[in-house]
Structures are given as structure tokens and as C-alpha cells.
Amino acid sequence: MTGNHSSRADLSSLLGIDIEPALLELALTHRSFAYENGGVATNERLEFLGDSILGQAVTVMLFTEHPDLDEGELAKRRASLVSTVALAEIARHIGLGQYLRVGRGEELTGGRDKSSMLADTVEAIIGAAYLARGGDEATALVHRLIAPLLADPERFGATMDPKTSLQELSAHRNLGAPTYVIVDSGPDHLKRFQATVLLQDREIATGVGSSKKQAEVAAALDAWTQLSREAR
């Protein structure tokens, strides 16, 4: 799926910012698509730019809105909000996966829902917003994107530390301690890890990542989400 102009217009509307179609398309272009289509440009430079803008916007927001927090707590909250887990959560909230331009290999292996790919694309879109509309509107976009997490304290806590949050929730529900089963695939320089969370020998959720820790964190957040829904 390469996306079309109407779907990109839908995404611009969803984001609440007008980004030129060609620039937005670039922000959505993963290197796997570029590789399979004659080396077209990828979103990696935009991702580099967006990462910096995201970090600054979140830092200023936390500093301004939480005068009572010390440097250590501010750093912890910032790390949570700019983490792969949080950005992937944001991407899924707006349905970003359907708009990605990915290669056939990634398409077949569920690339549209990979946390790392979704998180990278969110950063690329923030970079594109900066180029299209400047710093103020890019910062406003960051605030809109992270608002759903900040509006849900329980969920924000879970994204800050998914493994601890899952452990606390499972203990509260007398389900015992979660265990993780890890499998890896791919060559050494491009390893992918999949973690499966077990509670009382029952498979609850899985997560993928470029490291064991990243996969476990993704799986823990998914498991926490499922258990939380069951409790409602």
C-alpha cells in the first residue's frame, strides 16, 4: 500500500495540521519501501529532526506545567513520553499504521503495527510539521499527540513502566508474577525479538522490538491493556 492523496489528506485533518502532500508522503516512507522501489527518499532525516523537536516540546511542557517536580522526576517523565512504547501507543491511537509506505516484506510480517516503525514515523511527521509550518505549530502538534496519554493517569503510568505496572496489576488480581518467553529472528546485525507474556501459564500478549527489553516492554503494555479492559 503506497497511500493516496485522499488518505494523506485524511491524515492531515486527523493531525490538525496542513502538511504538503509530498512532504507528508516522505514522512510516511519507510526504508523498506524505498529499497523495493528504486531507492526513493526515506523518512529517516525527518525522523532525526522530529526527535529533537519532540524532546524539546516535551521538556518545556513538563518544566512549565510541573514546577513542583525535581530534575529526576522531570527526566523520568520525559523519557516515558518520548519512548518507543509511548510513541507507538500514540500512533495506534490515530490509526497511523494504515498510512505507512512499507515494503512487501514488512507488509507480510506485520510491519504496520511494529512499535519501532510506528514510533519512528511519529517523529518523522513531527519533523515534517516543523518544515511545513514552523516551530510553534510543530510544538502544538506534539501537545495534541501526547494529550491522550496525559489525560489518562493510569495509562500514562503504564507507559512509564509497563513491566512494573503489569506486575502490580497481576498481583492485585491474584494472577501471580508474569513471565516472559523470548524468541529472536533475523541476522545478527538486524535481529528482531518477540516476547510473549505468560500469566499462570496462559499466553496473554506478545510484543516485538529490536532488543529483548524493547520486546518485553511492548508485550507488557499490551498485556496490561488487556487485563485492564477485562477488569472494567
Is 123 assigned to a binding site? Answer: yes
Query: What is the chain's Cα-based Rg?
Result: 18
Is 10 assigned to a binding site? Answer: no
Q: Are 36 and 107 in contact, with CB atoms under 8 Å apart?
A: no
Is 36 assigned to a binding site? Answer: no
Q: Are 122 and 149 in contact, with CB atoms under 8 Å apart?
A: no
HSE-up of residue 125 (Cα within 13 Å, Cβ side): 27
Q: Which residues are catalytic?
A: 51, 123
- SS3 of residue 199 by DSSP: strand
HSE-up of residue 64 (Cα within 13 Å, Cβ side): 7
Binding residues: 47, 120, 123
Which residues belong to the annotated binding site for Mg(2+)? 47, 120, 123
